Amino acid sequence: ENLLDIKGLHAGVEGKEILKGLSLTVGKGEVHVILGPNGSGKSTLMNVIMGHPKYEVTAGSIAFEGEDITQLKTFERARKGLFLSFQTPEEIPGISVENMIRTAKQAVSGERVKLLPFRRKLKEMMEELKIKPEYADRYLNVGFSGGEKKRNEILQLLMLEPKLALLDETDSGLDVDAVQIVSEGVAKFHNEDNSCLIITHNTRILEKLTVDRVHVLMNGTIVEEGGAELIEEINRRGFTHILGESGEA
Ligand code: ADP
Ligand code: MG
Ligand code: MG
């Protein structure tokens, strides 16, 4: 049984169809990468998998652990073990990093998260990520650098321990430090019991991971699939050759 099973998905926003019959499966313990040109629908796909209310599914289905989740709300999907990295742009004075992650953990688990064990684990994970202890008490995103926002994202991943991590790194223009944070953080997170679906243009993010499958998304549908070697091929030759000499998407 697949962890994630998307069949014939059509979805859009404000009456505009963006995903046009997309099918994709991710097995348990696997790392999948989605590649595709700008505007092909990658971020839309992530948001639709997570159930972002802005997007409407008009046909097809999304199953998670064999259960149809197409109609579930975002928080219900989060409780089932889905996680979408969000680079929360807002600064939230008054909410510390620790508070924010603990609140998210409680929302996802549906249980009260005891402070002391939570703190212990947070401290341990922060040490592993080489994050200074005082970071936990800083207000969320207030004056955060790009790298610090990335650290927060990875810390969430390690603390929330989702079954499926959806990571959309596409438009973030990561600097060298941020790339390393993401790369090491995702590698630390990933094990045989969870899966990752990663959108990235920066293949250095994948250096510490074994990529099981690559999907190429163009114009709202998967046009090519293959193993990790497809990344190298696309880096070398670009996207258009996939569609032949016409280059039409
Ligand atoms: P990608 O992440 O692959 O760059 P997106 O999923 O962000 O692609 O966008 C796919 C297409 O959908 C683009 O043509 C984009 O302009 C359009 N789109 C995305 N969000 C909206 C929106 N809120 N309203 C209208 N069009 C949108
Ligand atoms: Mg693996
Ligand atoms: Mg995008």
pTM of the model: 0.91
CATH number of 4-243: 3.40.50.300
**In the block, residue with structure tokens 């040490």:** 127
pLDDT bracket for residue 217 (50, 70, 90) = very high
- Residue 249: per-residue pLDDT: 46
**For ligand 3, a single-atom ion, which residues have Cβ within 5 Å?**
42-43, 170
Q: CB count, 10 Å around CB of 132? A: 10
Q: What's the gap in Å between 35 CA and the centre of ligand 1?
A: 15
Name, in order, each residue with C-beta under 8 angstroms of 64's C-beta and a sequence gap of 6 or more. Answer: 3, 4, 5, 77, 80, 81, 82, 164
Q: What's the gap in Å between 17 CA and the centre of ligand 2?
A: 33
ipTM of the complex as predicted: 0.94
Which of 107, 87, 90, 96 has the alpha carbon at shortest distance from 181?
87
- Average pLDDT, integer, range 5-20: 97
Name, in order, each residue with C-beta under 8 angstroms of 202's C-beta and a sequence gap of 6 or more. Answer: 169, 174, 179
Q: CB count, 10 Å around CB of 173? A: 10
Nearest CA to ligand 1 atom 19: 44
- Residue 170: per-residue pLDDT: 57
- If one residue of 38, 42, 44, 197 were mutated to test the ligand 1 pocket, choosing by the most ligand atoms within 8 A of its CB, it would be 44
More confident residue, 248 or 216: 216
User: For the chain, which residues make up each domain, given as ranges?
Assistant: 4-243
Q: What value, to the nearest 5°, has the Cα angle with vertex 110 and ends 188 and 54?
A: 80
236: helix, coil or strand?
helix
